[in-house]
Structure 1
Amino acid sequence: MQTRAAPISAINVEKRTVDLVFTTGAAVRRRRWTGWETAVPFDEILEVSRDAIDLVRLNAGAPVLDSHSPYSTSSQVGVVERAWLDGGEGWATVRFPSAGLDQAADRMFGMVNEKIIRNVSVGYSINKVRVVEPTKKDDVEKRIATRWTPFEISFVTIPADAGAQVRNGDEYPLLIERAFDPAAAIARMRMRQAAF
C-alpha cells in the first residue's frame, strides 16, 4: 500500500461529515531499492484525471481509517460517502457514525472538528506507471501513475512529504511503460561517463 496526505476542507457537525481533498497529484519523493543497501530516489506523481483514477472502490463505501490500520474493524472510524474529481484534485465526503456509537470514532471526529487532526492520507495501489528518465545530472527519475486505485482514506498525524511516507513496496501488479527518448538516452550515457 502507498499513501500520501492532503488537508481537510469542510466539517458539518450535524451530519458528522467532512469534505476533504485526498489527492492533488503533487510529486512525492520515493526510493526504490536496487540492492540490499542501495536505494535510488525518484519522484512519484499521481495523475489526477478521470482516465487515471478508478474511484469505484471509494464510491462503494470505502473505509475511513485511523492511520492506515487495516487489521481490525475497530480501526475504521468512518466511511466514504462520495468521491469525485474537481479542479485537478481528488475530493471525498466522509461520514462518521452517530455520536456515542463508537468511542474511537467520536474521539477522531472531535479531534478533526477541533482542527487538532488536520491531515488526510490516501491508501492506493498503482496499476500503470509512465517512467520519465532524468535528463540532467542532478535530476531524478519521475514515475507518473497513469492508472491508480484509491481504496481507503485515513486521518494521520504526519502529512505526505519526502521524508514521512508510509509505503509497503510494490506489492500490486504494475505495468511500467518506458517511452524511448533518444535525447534522454544520450543524456544518461553522458551522466554515466561523467561519473567515471
Structure 2
Amino acid sequence: MTKLNLRKVPDSLPMQMQEVRLLPSGVDTETRTLDLVWTTGATVRRRRYVGWDTIVPFDEILLVSDKAIDLSRMNAGAPVLDSHSVWSTFSQVAVVERAWVDGGEGKASIRFPKAGIDERADRMFGLVSDGIIKNVSVGYSIDKIRIEEAQKKGDVEKVFVERWTPNEISFVTVPADPGAQVRNQSDTFPLMIDRKPVSTFAASARMRMAEAVRRLA
C-alpha cells in the first residue's frame, strides 16, 4: 500500500461554492422556518490554470461526515444569502438555526425574519414556499485535501476534500458553472495537502512524453 505523505504547505484557496437541488421540508408559514439539504457530497468537475493558458480539469469530491465537516460557523447562526452576495447585510434573507449531517447529506433548519421586517426576505420566503426558487448553494472553505493524481490517459486528478467548513448557504436561480470559483485573493484560507505520489509507470510515461516534446521543439 502506498504511504501518503502529509505536509503542511503555504497554499490557500478562496471560498468555494457547490450547488444542490433545494429540498424544502415542512415549510412552516407561522414560524417562517424550513429544513433543507445543502450538500450531498456530489463529485464536481472543476478546473485550474497552469501557466497563462493551460486548463487542467480535476474532480472535487466533498466528504460528508461529522469528522469531515466543521459545523461551528453554521451552528453559530450562519447567514442565508441571496446568490452568495456577501458585501451587504441587505443580501441576508434568513439565518441558520441548526445544521447537522445525516445519511451522507448536510442538512439545516433555517428561519426567515417576521413578515414585514424585510422586503427582500419576504420575497424570498414567498418564492421558496411557492416552489419557484428550487436551488441552494453552499459557500465553504477547504481545510484539508487529499490528491490522487491521474494514473492513465483520459483520467483526471481527484481532489478529496477531507476537512472543510461551510460558511453560508445561498438561494440561487441558475447554478453557476462549478468550475467558476470566487477569485478574491483577500479571502483565502490555508489548507493541508495529502498528495498520493504518481505511480512509477505513470511517472515514466510523463518523462517519455516530456522528452518527446523537447525533441520536437
The normalised TM-score by structure 1 is 0.91
- 1:190 paired with 2:211, answer no
Q: Percent identity?
A: 58
1:75-114 deviation line (CA, Å, top 9, x unaligned): 0000000000000010011111011110000000111011
Q: Which residue of 2 aligns with 1:26?
A: 42
- 1:101 paired with 2:130, answer no
Query: Aligned-residue CA RMSD in angstroms?
Result: 1.8
Shift of 1:158: 2.1
- Tell me how many residue pairs correspond in the alignment: 192
When residues 154 and 166 of structure 1 are mapped into structure 2, their CA distance, relative to the original with a 3 A threshold, is farther
- 1:175 paired with 2:192, answer yes
Which has the higher Rg, Structure 1 or Structure 2? Answer: 2
Question: Is the CA contact 1:8–1:18 (under 8 Å) kept in the aligned structure 2?
Answer: no
**In 2, Cα distance between the equivalents of 1:18 and 1:165?**
29
Q: Counterpart of 1:56 in 2: which secondary structure?
A: coil
Alignment equivalent of 1:3, drawn from 13, 17, 34: 17
Question: Is the CA contact 1:59–1:81 (under 8 Å) kept in the aligned structure 2?
Answer: yes
Shift of 1:122: 0.3
Structure 2: gaps (5+ residues):
1-14, 213-217
Structure 1: gaps (5+ residues):
none
State the one-letter code of the partner of 1:111: L
Q: Which residue of 2 aligns with 1:52?
A: 68
When residues 178 and 164 of structure 1 are mapped into structure 2, their CA distance, relative to the original with a 3 A threshold, is closer
Pairs within 5 Å for 1:71-90: 71-90=87-106
